[in-house]
């Protein structure tokens, strides 16, 4: 048997187990749990997990129907009944069964659940990817949650971000992860959050501390910040901190429409801009292609993108610029030219003082060629929405037409298109491949409800139906 379940003395295939709807866990999440792994029939750190389980139950005044030894016997017996040598062992106690009432049942002991399922321990030699999230698990007073919703939502965000775990923080103070404690090594010192009301005192955490002390590794049980997490030994990052809050941009999808709510964002101080410029120069020296996209924050002059283009050019990197308005005009008028600019047709008409439509490709080509601001820019791509785009590359002109799709969420399609350009140009692809790759990325993003994600299993279908014709 692979997946084995247990409920109050009854066990069987997990899929066949039945639990009464008036178990208090169904209404309130009213219970406690613990979990660990078994390997070759041996449950890891069982005594410590049982101690924590009973402590958790006691703190919530849940009366368990068994002793610690009896609980261990149940778990060991369950593990012995499954076929797999490596298993995830989960057990919980709910406060009991009764008609829904927030107050405790007057009588009755806890219900015991056990789940055993095959599970391999992850390969810890592989690097893991993380995201950070504000720790709000117990701050949702306005939501009638069944207790674990914040962790569930964090886990979902983690998966959607293509990561393995979420690191919670309260303000700048790192607490723990959605499913585990978090620790850092800094200058050879093992740092971990103290066991206060902000974290669950993890069993693995205790083992790590003991292992550190046994090997003369200093242990520091004091809170650490997100900045310290980013600066820990072995953690690579190239962030430039600022005093202001990073802006939030919301895109609301409703009845086939999109409504964007964009915060104005922080004011960038001169010292912060100087620090970023230095970091940009450092990174540009390591890059083949650099993308600059979007509007500039408050406190940053419209000519700043032009400055960055010059820095990247001097470092030998090609710059793909996707911006508009004053920042685009300043970049076009600069002596340092990007490798590519990608205004849409409306923006292009504004720059040229024209009123071209999607059918005026020849006239558009002549107008761009006659405008000195575009001289020296190898790639000029004018996007035309559903009509595709036109690309001008060193004297050659191309029309790219894309297949009709059922767009789900177009947010991020422009950025995805630029990513496609960057990938293809960095790879030294020919003109047709560059345009097909970029347009395919934009289309695949619009087909996925998650912003910045591509429906990769339809790559060949869309790529092969992007038509690029030389004019």
pLDDT in tens, 130-162: 888 888 877 666 666 667 778 878 888 888 788
User: Of residues 10, 122, 144, 286, which has the active-site annotation?
Assistant: 144
Which of the four pLDDT bands, split at 50, 70 and 90, describes residue 20?
A: very high
pTM exceeds 0.85, yes or no: no
pLDDT greater than 70 at residue 326: yes
pLDDT at 409: 81
Average pLDDT over residues 93-120: 88
Distance between CA atoms of 87 and 360, rounded to whole angstroms?
66
115 forms beta bridges with 5, 90
Please confirm, yes or no, whether 443 is among the known catalytic residues: no
Domain ranges of the chain: 4-118, 130-230, 268-470
pLDDT tens, 400-411?
A: 999 988 888 888
Q: What is the mean pLDDT of the chain?
A: 91
What is the helix (H) or strand (E) element at residue 213, kind and residue range? helix 203-214
Among candidates 185, 189, 132, 183, which has minimal Cα distance to 161? 132
Q: Which residue has the tokens 């030389």?
A: 470
Q: Is the pLDDT of residue 213 over 70?
A: yes
Q: How far is CA 108 from CA 9, 20, 104, 310, 325, in A?
A: 16, 15, 10, 75, 70
pLDDT band with cut points at 50, 70 and 90 for residue 120: confident
Number of other residues whose CB lies within 10 A of the CB of residue 265: 17
pLDDT of residue 77: 95
At the topology level, CATH places domain 130-230 in D-amino Acid Aminotransferase; Chain A, domain 2 (3.20.10)
pLDDT tens-digit series, residues 270-317: 999 999 999 999 999 999 999 999 999 999 999 999 999 999 999 999
401 with 467: CB under 8 angstroms? yes
Q: How far apart are CA 462 and CA 392, in angstroms?
A: 22
Can you give the pLDDT at residue 6?
Answer: 96
What is the per-residue pLDDT for 470?
94
The CATH code belonging to domain 4-118 is 3.30.470.10
Q: Name the percent of the chain in helix, strand, coil, to the closest 5.
A: 35, 25, 40
- Long-range pairs of 421-428 with CB within 8 A, sequence gap ≥ 24: 421/320, 421/340, 421/342, 421/379, 421/381, 422/289, 422/291, 422/320, 425/289, 425/318, 425/320, 425/339, 425/340, 425/379, 426/288, 426/289, 426/318
Distance of CA 81 to the CA centre of its chain: 39
Task: Say what the pLDDT of residue 401 is.
Answer: 93
Nearest to 79 by CA among 128, 108, 37: 37
What pLDDT is recorded for position 196? 87
Q: Sorting pLDDT into bands at 50, 70 and 90, what band is 125?
A: confident
The answer to whether 315 and 292 are in contact (CB under 8 A) is no
pLDDT of 186 reads 96
Sign of CA dihedral 91, 93, 98, 101: negative
pLDDT of amino acid 123 = 80
pLDDT at residue 1 in the model: 65
Under 8 Å between Cβ of 292 and 320? yes
Output 249 or 72, whichever has higher pLDDT: 72
Q: Each residue of 346-381: pLDDT tens digit?
A: 999 999 999 999 989 899 999 999 999 999 999 999
- At residue 103, does pLDDT exceed 90? no
* Of 197-206, 252-261, 408-417, minimum mean pLDDT range: 252-261
268-470 folds as: 3.40.1190
pLDDT tens string 258-281: 788 888 889 999 999 999 999 999
In this structure, of 43-52, 184-193, 387-396, the range with the lowest mean pLDDT score is: 387-396
């Amino acid at each position: 048997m692979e997946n084995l379940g247990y409920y109050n003395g009854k066990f069987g295939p997990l899929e066949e187990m039945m639990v009464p709807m008036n178990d208090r866990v169904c209404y309130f999440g009213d219970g406690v749990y613990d979990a660990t792994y078994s390997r070759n029939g041996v449950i890891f750190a069982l005594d410590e997990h049982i101690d924590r389980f009973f402590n958790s139950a006691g703190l919530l005044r849940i009366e368990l129907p068994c002793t610690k030894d009896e609980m261990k016997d149940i778990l060991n017996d369950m593990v012995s009944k499954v076929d797999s040598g490596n298993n995830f062992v989960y057990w919980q106690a709910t406060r009991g069964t009764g008609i829904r009432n927030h107050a405790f049942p007057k009588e009755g002991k806890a219900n015991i659940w056990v789940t055993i399922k095959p599970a391999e321990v992850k390969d810890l030699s592989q690097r893991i990817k993380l995201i950070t999230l504000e720790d709000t698990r117990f701050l949702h007073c306005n939501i009638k949650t069944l207790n674990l919703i914040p962790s569930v939502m964090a886990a979902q965000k983690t998966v959607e971000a293509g990561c393995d775990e979420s690191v919670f923080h309260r303000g700048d103070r790192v607490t723990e992860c959605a499913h585990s404690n978090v620790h850092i090594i800094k200058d050879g010192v093992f740092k971990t959050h103290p066991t206060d009301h902000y974290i669950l005192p993890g069993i693995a955490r205790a083992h790590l501390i003991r292992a550190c002390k046994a090997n003369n590794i200093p242990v520091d049980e004091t809170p650490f910040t997100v900045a310290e997490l980013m600066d820990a030994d072995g953690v690579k990052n190239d962030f430039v901190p600022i005093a202001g809050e990073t802006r939030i941009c919301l895109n609301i999808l409703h009845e086939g429409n999109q409504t964007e709510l964009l915060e104005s964002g922080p004011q960038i101080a001169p010292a912060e801009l100087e620090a970023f410029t230095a970091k940009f120069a450092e990174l540009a020296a390591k890059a083949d292609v650099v993308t600059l996209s979007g509007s500039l924050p408050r406190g940053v002059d419209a000519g700043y993108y032009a400055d960055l283009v010059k820095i990247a050019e001097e470092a030998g990197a090609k710059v793909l610029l996707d911006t508009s308005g004053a920042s685009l005009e300043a970049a076009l008028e600069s002596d340092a030219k990007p490798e590519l600019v990608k205004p849409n047709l409306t923006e292009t008409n504004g720059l040229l003082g024209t009123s071209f439509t999607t059918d005026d490709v020849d006239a558009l080509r002549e107008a761009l060629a006659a405008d000195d601001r575009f001289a020296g820019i190898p790639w000029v791509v004018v996007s035309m929405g559903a009509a595709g785009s036109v690309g001008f590359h060193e004297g050659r002109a191309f029309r790219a037409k894309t297949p009709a799709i059922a767009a789900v969420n177009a947010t991020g399609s422009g950025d995805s298109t630029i990513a496609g350009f960057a990938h293809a140009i960095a790879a030294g692809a020919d003109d047709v491949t560059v345009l097909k790759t970029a347009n395919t990325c934009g289309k695949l993003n619009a087909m996925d409800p998650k912003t910045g994600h591509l429906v990769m299993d339809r790559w060949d279908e869309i790529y092969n139906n992007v038509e690029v014709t030389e004019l």
